[in-house]
Amino acid sequence: MAFCTHCGNKLTEGVAHQCVDDIAANPMKYTAAATEPEQEHGASSSSGASDAKTASTIQVDGQVLLKLLKNPMSALNMRGDQTGLIYGMIGMASSVIGFWLFGLGIKQMFYSGLGMVSALLSNFGMGSRALLLGLFSTVILLGSFWFAGNMVTKQKLDWKEFIAKIGSFQLPFGAALIISGLISFMSLKLAFLILVFALMTGLAANSAAIIELYRIGSRQWMKFLGIAIGIYVLLFAIVQTVLL
């Protein structure tokens, strides 16, 4: 049997001993040690709950999409967070899908007199090219505007913020391209008119939106547009040559 040399209390084997006098003199020491694991557990639980809440709130809101369709300039209020990037990707994807449908419609009109197998194979080939052209066209256009804006002005935008704002700005024009692609299966002439209108309007509107976003002065408009469109035409011509 053993006893503590400080307080004289009996020592039990396998059990940590705390002197009564020590506890009385330093009560906060043992209280803090006992509550520390609880605090850590509570903090980790709160952090996990916050992360779960953030992940669950990232979803597509139909009202936001409707607002972007009615007022594309509201896209400039988007933030470069995960939610903003989702809307930016949706806007860019709508343009790509529109190009893809238009390519399928053109091939369908040209190969409608062939057999079913030949028509399907030709549609697949043309559709894949149109899909790639639409993808590269959209990415190169936005990349050219982003590069020119950052180079010409002193306002430097992060690419995530740029995609969130200008990517979501593409939604109404992407919707017009999708309508053009669907109509191309019935009337190629009408679909082509809608396509040209959507592309020309989209280019002008994108230029105006990015000038507003970067706050580009009137003296720098020509320089900005010349650099952006020049880069786009050069890179897109290279991509078109490779794909076609």
Are 207 and 86 in the same domain?
Answer: yes
> The whole model's pTM is what?
0.70
pLDDT score, position 208: 94
CB of 197 closer than 8 Å to CB of 176: yes
Which of 57, 76, 93 is at the close of a domain?
57
pLDDT score, position 227: 95
**Residue 22 located in a structural domain:** yes
Number of domain units in the chain: 2
How far apart are the C-alpha atoms of 208 and 215, rounded to whole Å? 10
Are 53 and 68 in the same domain?
Answer: no
Per-residue pLDDT of the chain (244 residues; tens, 9 = 90+): 566 665 666 666 655 666 655 545 555 544 444 444 444 444 444 445 444 444 445 678 889 999 999 999 999 999 888 999 999 999 999 999 988 888 787 776 666 555 444 444 454 556 677 788 889 999 999 999 999 999 998 888 899 999 999 999 999 999 999 999 899 888 888 999 999 999 999 999 999 999 999 999 889 999 999 999 999 999 999 988 887 6
Are 157 and 226 in the same domain?
Answer: yes
How far apart are the C-alpha atoms of 228 and 212, rounded to whole Å? 15
Are 112 and 203 in the same domain?
Answer: yes
Are 144 and 201 in the same domain?
Answer: yes
**Residue 86 located in a structural domain:** yes
Are 40 and 116 in the same domain?
Answer: no
Q: Whole domain around residue 46: which residue ranges?
A: 10-57
**Residue 3 located in a structural domain:** no
Q: What residues does 2 pair with on adjacent strands?
A: 11
How far apart are the C-alpha atoms of 112 and 120, rounded to whole Å? 10
**Residue 38 located in a structural domain:** yes
Are 34 and 109 in the same domain?
Answer: no
- Could you report the per-residue pLDDT of 21-49, keeping only the tens digit for each? 554 555 554 444 444 444 444 444 444 54
The answer to whether the Cα torsion of 198, 204, 206, 209 is positive or negative is negative
Return the closest-CA partner of residue 236 out of 111, 149, 142.
142
CB of 174 closer than 8 Å to CB of 91: yes
Are 77 and 39 in the same domain?
Answer: no
